[in-house]
A and B are shown apart, each in its own frame.
Chain A
C-alpha cells in the first residue's frame, strides 16, 4: 500500500507552521505594543466578575469592591486610627441630644456628570432607602424620623430614638444622585413591585462622586474605571493625605482561579490580585523579586458555633469543655501555616477600640494532655460519666470511650458541619481536628463537610444541626453584630442568632449598647457583652486569618496599609506610577 506523498505532507505542515507563527507574532506584537500604552492604568485581578453596578443590588463582594470606588459615603475610616472621618462631609456630625438631631455639613463636591452634589442628594438617598425599603440599608435608616436640608450644604437628620450605629452605619451609606434616581424611582412606583424594579435596574452609566467612574464594562472579561475629573478629593488633603487619583484608571480583569491570577501577576499582566493569597503560594511569591507582599490584619471571625437549643450543647459545661480542647495554636501554626491570629473574643483584636482583652481564655498555654485533663475535669464535675474515662486512675491520658450525659443516657453522636475543602480548606480541616480532639475525650463527634449553601440553610434557616464551623471574612468595624448574633429576638428562621442563644441579661445590655450614644459607655457595654458570650460559649472563636496581598513591584507606589488590606479607597486615591 503506497504511503501518502511525503513531499505534499511536508509542504502542508510547513504552511500550517508559518501561518501559526505569523498569527502569534502579529497578535503578540499587538499585545506588547498596547501594554506599553497603559502605563498609568492599574490592573487588578478579581477572582470573579462583579455581578452588577447597581449600588442597591450589589451584594457580592466583587460588585461591592468596584461600586465602592464610585459611590461615596459621608464618612469613611481613617486607615491608621480606624476612626470615622469626614469624607463627603466637611466636618464631624453635630449631635443635639434634646432633639436627637444630627447635623452634617457637606463639602463642595460634584457628580461625575459635572453637576453639584448637594444636601438634597444626601436627603434623597435616605428617603429613597426608607421609601423603597432597600435591603442592606433599610435597617440603617428606618429609625430616622425626619430629614431637613436648610441649605445646600447642610443636612439635619432627626432620629426617632437614640441609635449608636447612626454614624458608623447610616452615615457610611453610599450617596446617590437625586437627578439620576428620581426618574428611576418614578418609573418603579408605577409597577406592582417597585423595589424589585429598582433592584433589577441595569445601571449602564452610573453617575457617582468617587475617585473613579465607569468607562467600559465588557461583561465576562474586564471592567475599566477611569479617573473622575470631578472627584472632590483631588488635590485636597484629608487626614494629612494629599489625594489624587494620580493614576488614569483601574482595569479589573476577571480570573476563574487563583492559579491563573497568580501566574498573571508573576507574568506582569496584572499589578495586583485583589484577594488574599493562600499560604501555599506565599513562599513562591516571596522568592519572586518582582512581587511585593503585604501582610495586614482582617476584621474577620472564624468560629465554631453550637446549637444551644438542644442536647448535647444545651449544656454550657460541654461547650466550655470543647472550648478548652481547641488547640488554637495548632490551628494557626499548622492549618493556617502561621498566617493567622489567635482569637479570644468575638471581636477581632485588630478592631482595637472595641476588642475586649479581658475575657475567659480556655486552655491557654496548656499542652494537649493538659487540655484533655482540664476538659475531663469540667465534664466530670458536671456529672458526665464514661465507660472508659479519658484520664485513668493514675492520671494518664487514654482514649476515652462511652461518654454518658449527666442524666445517665449515652451521648448520641453529633456532627460538626463545615464547608467543603474546595470552598475553604481551613474550615474543613478545623472540623477534622475538632472531631479528633473530641474523640480523645470519648465524645462521639463527626465532622461533616457540606456544600456551603446547604450548610447555611441547615444552620440558619432550618436550625437542624449540632455544631458548625463558619466565618465572616469582613466584619463591620462597628461591633453591633455582637447584638445581632446573640440577641434572643434574632433566634428565628434566617435570623442571625444561629446558635439559639437566649440570655435576658445579655439582651438587656445588647439593647442598651444599641442606643448608647456615648462612645465610652458603649464600649464598656460591648466589652461586657463579649465577656458574657465567651463565658457562655455559644461560639468558640477560632482564628482571624492574616490577609496577605501581592502586588507587582516597580509599577506603582503609595499602597496604604490598613485593617482589611491594601486594596482600599486610600490606596486608590494615593497610588502614583513609578
Chain B
C-alpha cells in the first residue's frame, strides 16, 4: 500500500516537473533572440507577406495565448506543425527517431560489451603492461574530440581507402533497385553504420572500461572472492562468474541511463556523418527558430529522462523496501 502511494506521489512529481520543463522551454524559445519569420523571407517578399506568415505560424497571438493553445493541443497529442517542413512535428520525429535509436543504441551496447570485457582484463592484470595500455588507450579515445575523430575516419576509411561510404544512412542505388530485398537493404544500412558506429564506439568504450576496471578492483577485495579462492575454484571461474557479474552492476546502470539519453542522438555525430536522426534535426530546428519542432524534440528527451528516472526509483523502492523519499 505504501509502495503504491510512493509510486503515485512520484508520478505526480514527474508530471509537474514535465510541465515546468514544458513551460520554461516554451518561454525560452519565444524570448530567445531570433525571429523565425525573418529567416523565411527574402527581398522578393514584402513586409505584408511577412505579416501573413506570422499569422499562419500563429505568432501574432500574445505569448500567453500561444502557450494555452500549445497546452490544449498537447493534450490531444498534437505538437503543432514545423515552421519549415510544414509537417506535423510528430511525423518528423517518428521519421528520424528510429535512425537515432538504431545508431546510438547499437553503439552503447557494443561499447558497453567491449568496455566490460576489456575492463575485466585490465583489472585482472592490474599494474602490468596490459592494464597500463588499456587504461591509457581508454583515456585517450574517451577524450578525443568527436568531430575531429569522425573527419579523420571519414578521410582515411571513406576517402583514401574507399572502404566505407562517406556519409548518409543508405545508398540510393540499393534503395531504388526494385530487386533489392530486405537483406540487401539491411546490409546497406549496416555498411553505412560502420564509420559512425566505430567513431561512437571509440569515444564511449573507454568510459565503460574504466568503470568496469575500478568496480572490478573493488569487487576482487570482497570476502566472497577470497572464499571462492579458498574453495579452490579456477581463476577464470572466479573472475568471470563471481567477480565480473557483480562488478558490472555500475556499468549496467550507466548503460541504462545512456540508452535513455540515446534518443537525443548526437548532434555532432549525426551532422558530420549526415545521419538522418533526431540530433541533426534538433540542431537545425534550433538554429532556424523552428519552435514547434525544437520544443517537441526537447520535450521528448525530457519525457524519456523523467520516465527512466521514475522507473529506476520505483525499481529501487521495490527492491529495497527501506527506500521511500
List chain A residues, Cβ under 8 A from B47: 490, 492-496
Given contacts A2-B236, A453-B39, A475-B43, contact A38 B276 (CB under 8 A): no
Task: List the count of A-B residue pairs having beta carbons below 8 Å apart.
Answer: 210
Could you tell me the distance between the alpha carbons of A476 and B45 in the complex, rounded to whole angstroms?
Answer: 11
B35 touches A460 (CB 8 A): yes
Could you tell me the distance between the alpha carbons of A461 and B46 in the complex, rounded to whole angstroms?
Answer: 14
A202 touches B151 (CB 8 A): no
B276 touches A264 (CB 8 A): no
List chain B residues, Cβ under 8 A from A253: 168, 172
Given contacts A4-B121, A218-B175, A475-B43, contact A202 B87 (CB under 8 A): yes
Q: For the complex, is A296 an interface residue (Cβ under 8 Å from B)?
A: no
A31 touches B191 (CB 8 A): yes
Chain A residue, CB-CB nearest to B169: A221
List chain B residues, Cβ under 8 A from A458: 33
B81 touches A200 (CB 8 A): yes
Could you tell me the distance between the alpha carbons of A196 and B154 in the complex, rounded to whole angstroms?
Answer: 42
Partner-contacting stretch, out of B133-141, B203-211, B245-253, B266-274: B266-274
B187 touches A199 (CB 8 A): no
B44 touches A267 (CB 8 A): no
Could you tell me the distance between the alpha carbons of A201 and B175 in the complex, rounded to whole angstroms?
Answer: 26
Q: For the complex, is B146 an interface residue (Cβ under 8 Å from A)?
A: no
Could you tell me the distance between the alpha carbons of A146 and B188 in the complex, rounded to whole angstroms?
Answer: 56
Q: How large is the interface on B (under 10, 10 to 19, 20 to 34, 35 or more residues)?
A: 35 or more
B45 touches A260 (CB 8 A): no
Q: For the complex, is B65 an interface residue (Cβ under 8 Å from A)?
A: no
Q: For the complex, is B144 an interface residue (Cβ under 8 Å from A)?
A: no
A428 CB to nearest chain B CB (Å):
16
Residue with the highest number of chain B CB atoms closer than 10 Å, among A2, A38, A220: A220
B95 touches A269 (CB 8 A): no
The one of B48, B50, B188, B287 in contact with A27, judged by C-beta atoms closer than 8 angstroms, is B188
A461 touches B158 (CB 8 A): no
Given contacts A200-B86, A221-B276, A476-B44, contact A267 B166 (CB under 8 A): yes
A256 touches B167 (CB 8 A): yes
A51 touches B191 (CB 8 A): no
A256 touches B38 (CB 8 A): no
Interface string of B221-262 (1 = CB under 8 A from A): 000000000000001100000000000000000000000000
The one of A23, A59, A139, A457 in contact with B35, judged by C-beta atoms closer than 8 angstroms, is A457
B315 CB to nearest chain A CB (Å):
34
Q: For the complex, is B56 an interface residue (Cβ under 8 Å from A)?
A: yes
Q: For the complex, is A472 an interface residue (Cβ under 8 Å from B)?
A: yes
Interface string of B151-184 (1 = CB under 8 A from A): 1001100110011111111111111110000001
A37 touches B49 (CB 8 A): no
A23 CB to nearest chain B CB (Å):
7
Could you tell me the distance between the alpha carbons of A216 and B47 in the complex, rounded to whole angstroms?
Answer: 36
Q: For the complex, is B301 an interface residue (Cβ under 8 Å from A)?
A: no
The one of B34, B41, B45, B276 in contact with A451, judged by C-beta atoms closer than 8 angstroms, is B34
Q: For the complex, is A222 an interface residue (Cβ under 8 Å from B)?
A: yes
Could you tell me the distance between the alpha carbons of A458 and B236 in the complex, rounded to whole angstroms?
Answer: 67
Chain A residue, CB-CB nearest to B33: A454
The one of A199, A453, A490 in contact with B56, judged by C-beta atoms closer than 8 angstroms, is A199
The one of B49, B86, B124, B287 in contact with A199, judged by C-beta atoms closer than 8 angstroms, is B86
A484 touches B46 (CB 8 A): yes
A420 CB to nearest chain B CB (Å):
11
B272 touches A34 (CB 8 A): no
Q: For the complex, is A319 an interface residue (Cβ under 8 Å from B)?
A: no
Q: For the complex, is B51 an interface residue (Cβ under 8 Å from A)?
A: yes
Q: For the complex, is B2 an interface residue (Cβ under 8 Å from A)?
A: no
Given contacts A27-B190, A139-B46, contact A193 B56 (CB under 8 A): yes
Could you tell me the distance between the alpha carbons of A220 and B276 in the complex, rounded to whole angstroms?
Answer: 5
The A19-65 residues at the B interface (CB cut-off 8 A) are 23-24, 26-28, 30-31, 34-35, 37-38, 48, 51-52, 54, 57, 59-60
Chain A residue, CB-CB nearest to B58: A196
Chain B residue, CB-CB nearest to A3: B125
List chain A residues, Cβ under 8 A from B43: 472, 475-476, 481, 484-485, 496
Given contacts A195-B56, A269-B166, contact A220 B287 (CB under 8 A): no
Partner-contacting stretch, out of A130-138, A430-438, A518-526: A130-138
Q: For the complex, is A355 an interface residue (Cβ under 8 Å from B)?
A: no
Q: List 28 A-B contacts (CB under 8 A).
A: A1-B235, A24-B194, A30-B184, A30-B187, A30-B191, A51-B84, A59-B42, A135-B49, A135-B53, A139-B49, A140-B44, A199-B56, A216-B175, A218-B172, A219-B95, A221-B170, A253-B172, A255-B274, A264-B167, A452-B39, A453-B36, A453-B38, A453-B287, A453-B289, A457-B34, A458-B33, A472-B43, A494-B37
- Please name 18 further chain A to chain B contacts, defined as beta carbons within 8 Å, in addition to the given A256-B280, A490-B47, A494-B38, sorted by A numbering: A4-B121, A23-B190, A27-B191, A31-B165, A59-B40, A136-B49, A216-B175, A219-B276, A220-B276, A221-B170, A256-B167, A256-B270, A256-B273, A260-B154, A263-B159, A460-B35, A481-B43, A485-B43
Instruction: Kindly list the 9 A-B residue pairs having the minimum CB-CB distance in the complex, ordered from nearest.
Output: A220-B276, A453-B34, A34-B173, A454-B33, A27-B191, A456-B38, A135-B49, A457-B35, A256-B274
